[in-house]
A and B are shown apart, each in its own frame.
Chain A
Amino acid sequence: MNDPVVDATSSTPDGPGPSPSQDAAGHPGALLRVENVSKVYGSGHTAVTALDDATMSVDQGEFVALLGPSGSGKTTLISIIGGLLSASSGSVHIGNVDVTTLGGKERTKFRAERVGFVFQSANLVPFLTARENLLYVATLVKTPKKAASQRADQLLEELGLAGRAKNLPEQLSGGERQRVAIGRALMNDPDLVLVDEPTAALDTALGRQVVQLLRREIKDRGKTGIMVTHDLRMVEYTDRVFEILDGHLTHVESPSALGH
């Protein structure tokens, strides 16, 4: 089955995002507020600072890119934002919840209810079909069966996967697997969707399709999305761009200059 569900050749995002000149931290009413977050691994002589005093904010409905080379700290940052990792200092607010103050069980619940993840690997549960991968996350928040089935079918339809609902991940192409992962990330109607290198295992055309689809789904639903990538070509589909270098987070005022 072919992957294309959106125009792969289009380079125009669905709509203009906020101006790149917006201040990185200056959104008191933003859905996501990251304030002075640092992460240090180890201690003493062996201490490594993966993230150094990062501050950013993202409004509801925004889809932003987090750029940086391997080892720069971008994965650490989204892990802290998503409640997968604890920060050494600083705070992360999603809505009115400070993620950094949550205990282990609370963070697990928080991830299930408020965050959707699209990982570059470890993507789908191999022994569940595409539809079951979506339905499973609904059980984590105890969504009634009928409502969950309707939502899963609707998402699969929107993602162009209605005919692949009963296929296991091993029977799907790389692009289809990423689309199922997007559906799973949106299944519980999260506030925030965190996407880690969604195009890493895809060729350029397929990568563009997936990111375009991701943008459309996030925008149509009014969700907030952060996409970690080191692929500059994907930046055009996002509203704003942040860059991390050696653990330092900066807001990129002119993304068009990044390619140079």
Chain B
Amino acid sequence: MSLAGSEIRRAKLRFGLLTGAVALLVFLVLLLSTLSGALVGALIGALQGLRADGIVYADFARDNIAASRLDPGSAEAVAAVPGVAAASAVGTFTTAAQIEGASADVQIFGFVPGAPGAPSGLSSGRLPESPGEVAVDGAGQIGDTITLDPAGTELTIVGLLRGAQFNALPTLYTPLETYDEAAAATNPGLPFVPVNAVAFDVADGADAEAVAQAITDAVPGVKGYTLDTAVALIPGIESITQSFGILVGLTFVIGIVVIGFFFLILTVQKLKPFTLLRAIGTSTGRLAATVAIQITIVVLVASAIALALTLLAVQGLNTGIPVNLDPGLIGGTIVAVWIFSLIAGLLSIRRIARIDPASAVGAR
């Protein structure tokens, strides 16, 4: 006979309220984690998902791809550095565009198909291969046409991407040739269209960090980074991720402490029957297992409710950025809530271990 299950069946209101409270706490943690992840992803997803081992900016750019300007020939200079397997130019700028009849700001990236610097996160369709094709994150559907303003360049959507936005704007990825045309039309009078960066892959067995340093040393006027370093150095991103980390972390810790207190209160309320159970021969281990089973049941049911609430919230909220549920994040959060709830439940279990069975007959 399961004491844990029997008690839950007989105290539906008490456990229902507890489960509801835990569900709201887990929902808060899940929603904050999802939204902060989505916002950070929308700000820097393009660089995080760049298919390359490293990236090169102009040395004056202060680690900022938007501020970087390189001669298109830089890609060849980078490719010539020992340890570099392939290198190709990447360009980006912000412009206005007509999407489904509405005007919107977009971030456009130009890359060389099949070379370092292509985007990742393709959810449907394919990556562009020919001039005039574009893959998008956050703008239109496959087959739609996007017109860039004021260049008038027309792009046909051939693929949809996820987690590939930059600066929290709808982001377009087009072949470098089309990018150059659009950039030239947007900036008439330029002698040549500069690129912003050079993406590179390292040769098999080469260390990306060492190769990045070698590029910095060998090519004048540039600075090489591994992709992770480049992402971490994006201006402001560290403080943004730290702030969100603190926010989510604090919510998580407070949630866990509150859940722990809930179970401690529940245990203290049951000291009399627990004392009786100890007196008639129930081991401390069995009572501790009862509490652990109840914590597990409450956390699992609460997590399922919280997940449903998060799904509804993500679908219902209009945040202006693509918000997708990350199964890893959700699974990790739920497992963490469960484990830390059990740890918090140790307070209850310690209290149970201190029960003196003799007090059932008032012999102390």
Residues on A close to B: CB < 8 A? 75-76, 78-79, 84-85, 105, 108-113, 115, 117, 119-128, 132, 135-137, 139-140, 168, 184, 196
Q: Within the complex, what minimum Cβ distance (angstroms) separates A234 from chain B?
A: 17
Inter-chain contact A119/B10, CB cutoff 8 Å: no
Contacts of B11 in A (CB 8 A): 127
Which of B1, B272, B279 has a CB less than 8 Å from the CB of A117? B279
Inter-chain contact A111/B361, CB cutoff 8 Å: no
Interface residues of B in 202-227 (CB under 8 A from A): none
- Using A84-B357, A132-B6, A184-B280 as known contacts, say yes or no to A125 and B273 having CB atoms under 8 A apart: yes
- Using A125-B273, A126-B273, A132-B1 as known contacts, say yes or no to A112 and B360 having CB atoms under 8 A apart: no
Inter-chain contact A84/B281, CB cutoff 8 Å: no
Residues on B close to A: CB < 8 A? 1, 3, 6-7, 10-11, 272-273, 275-283, 357-358, 360-363
Other A-B contacts than A79-B358, A127-B273, A136-B3, 7 sampled, CB-CB below 8 A, are A84-B279, A115-B281, A121-B362, A122-B279, A125-B277, A126-B273, A128-B3
Inter-chain contact A79/B363, CB cutoff 8 Å: yes
Which of B6, B10, B276, B363 has a CB less than 8 Å from the CB of A122? B276
Inter-chain contact A137/B280, CB cutoff 8 Å: yes
Can you pick out 15 interface pairs between chain A and chain B where the beta carbons lie within 8 Å of each other?
A: A75-B362, A79-B358, A84-B279, A84-B360, A84-B361, A85-B358, A108-B281, A112-B280, A119-B276, A122-B279, A127-B6, A132-B1, A139-B1, A184-B280, A196-B361
Which of B283, B357, B361 has a CB less than 8 Å from the CB of A105? B283
Q: Within the complex, what minimum Cβ distance (angstroms) separates B159 from chain A?
A: 58
Inter-chain contact A111/B279, CB cutoff 8 Å: yes
Contacts of A78 in B (CB 8 A): 361
Task: Please report the C-alpha to C-alpha distance between residue A105 and residue B286 in the assembled complex, in whole angstroms.
Answer: 12
Contacts of B272 in A (CB 8 A): 122
Task: Please report the C-alpha to C-alpha distance between residue A168 and residue B279 in the assembled complex, in whole angstroms.
Answer: 20
Inter-chain contact A109/B281, CB cutoff 8 Å: yes
Contacts of B360 in A (CB 8 A): 84, 117, 119, 122
Which of B3, B278, B361 has a CB less than 8 Å from the CB of A119? B361
Q: Within the complex, what minimum Cβ distance (angstroms) separates B363 from chain A?
A: 4
Instruction: List 6 tightest A-B contacts by C-beta distance, closest first.
Output: A112-B281, A79-B363, A111-B281, A84-B358, A127-B10, A127-B7
Contacts of A196 in B (CB 8 A): 361
Inter-chain contact B273/A111, CB cutoff 8 Å: no
Contacts of B361 in A (CB 8 A): 75, 78-79, 84, 117, 119-120, 196
Contacts of B275 in A (CB 8 A): 122
**Considering residues B273, B280, B358, which has the most beta carbons from chain A within 10 angstroms of its beta carbon?**
B280
Q: Within the complex, what minimum Cβ distance (angstroms) separates B184 from chain A?
A: 78
Task: Please report the C-alpha to C-alpha distance between residue A206 and residue B331 in the assembled complex, in whole angstroms.
Answer: 58
Q: Within the complex, what minimum Cβ distance (angstroms) separates B269 from chain A?
A: 10
Which of A109, A122, A184 has a CB less than 8 Å from the CB of B273? A122
Task: Please report the C-alpha to C-alpha distance between residue A120 and residue B280 in the assembled complex, in whole angstroms.
Answer: 14
Task: Please report the C-alpha to C-alpha distance between residue A120 and residue B362 in the assembled complex, in whole angstroms.
Answer: 10
Q: Within the complex, what minimum Cβ distance (angstroms) separates A23 from chain B?
A: 27
- Using A84-B361, A119-B360, A119-B361 as known contacts, say yes or no to A137 and B281 having CB atoms under 8 A apart: yes
Contacts of B280 in A (CB 8 A): 111-112, 117, 137, 140, 184
Contacts of B282 in A (CB 8 A): 108, 112, 140
Contacts of A127 in B (CB 8 A): 6-7, 10-11, 273
- Chain A residue with Cβ nearest B272: A122
Contacts of A121 in B (CB 8 A): 362
Q: Within the complex, what minimum Cβ distance (angstroms) separates B364 from chain A?
A: 8
Q: Within the complex, what minimum Cβ distance (angstroms) separates A148 from chain B?
A: 9
Q: Within the complex, what minimum Cβ distance (angstroms) separates A137 from chain B?
A: 6
Contacts of B6 in A (CB 8 A): 127-128, 132
Which of B281, B357, B362 has a CB less than 8 Å from the CB of A140? B281
Inter-chain contact A84/B363, CB cutoff 8 Å: yes
Q: Within the complex, what minimum Cβ distance (angstroms) separates A200 from chain B?
A: 11
Contacts of B7 in A (CB 8 A): 127
**Considering residues A85, A108, A123, A168, which has the most beta carbons from chain B within 10 angstroms of its beta carbon?**
A108
Task: Please report the C-alpha to C-alpha distance between residue A75 and residue B360 in the assembled complex, in whole angstroms.
Answer: 10
Task: Please report the C-alpha to C-alpha distance between residue A121 and residue B275 in the assembled complex, in whole angstroms.
Answer: 11
Contacts of A140 in B (CB 8 A): 280-282
Q: Within the complex, what minimum Cβ distance (angstroms) separates A68 from chain B?
A: 13
Inter-chain contact A75/B281, CB cutoff 8 Å: no
Inter-chain contact A85/B281, CB cutoff 8 Å: no
- Chain B residue with Cβ nearest A39: B363
Contacts of A76 in B (CB 8 A): 363
Q: Within the complex, what minimum Cβ distance (angstroms) separates A146 from chain B?
A: 14
Task: Please report the C-alpha to C-alpha distance between residue A125 and residue B272 in the assembled complex, in whole angstroms.
Answer: 9
Task: Please report the C-alpha to C-alpha distance between residue A135 and residue B273 in the assembled complex, in whole angstroms.
Answer: 16
Task: Please report the C-alpha to C-alpha distance between residue A140 and residue B3 in the assembled complex, in whole angstroms.
Answer: 12
Q: Within the complex, what minimum Cβ distance (angstroms) separates B217 from chain A?
A: 69
- Chain A residue with Cβ nearest B278: A108
- Chain B residue with Cβ nearest A188: B281
Task: Please report the C-alpha to C-alpha distance between residue A135 and residue B280 in the assembled complex, in whole angstroms.
Answer: 13
Task: Please report the C-alpha to C-alpha distance between residue A168 and residue B7 in the assembled complex, in whole angstroms.
Answer: 11
Task: Please report the C-alpha to C-alpha distance between residue A139 and residue B362 in the assembled complex, in whole angstroms.
Answer: 26
Q: Within the complex, what minimum Cβ distance (angstroms) separates B289 from chain A?
A: 12
**Considering residues B277, B281, B283, which has the most beta carbons from chain A within 10 angstroms of its beta carbon?**
B281
Task: Please report the C-alpha to C-alpha distance between residue A213 and residue B279 in the assembled complex, in whole angstroms.
Answer: 23
Contacts of A123 in B (CB 8 A): 276
Contacts of A122 in B (CB 8 A): 272-273, 275-276, 279, 360
Task: Please report the C-alpha to C-alpha distance between residue A135 and residue B3 in the assembled complex, in whole angstroms.
Answer: 11
Task: Please report the C-alpha to C-alpha distance between residue A109 and residue B7 in the assembled complex, in whole angstroms.
Answer: 24
Contacts of B10 in A (CB 8 A): 127-128, 168
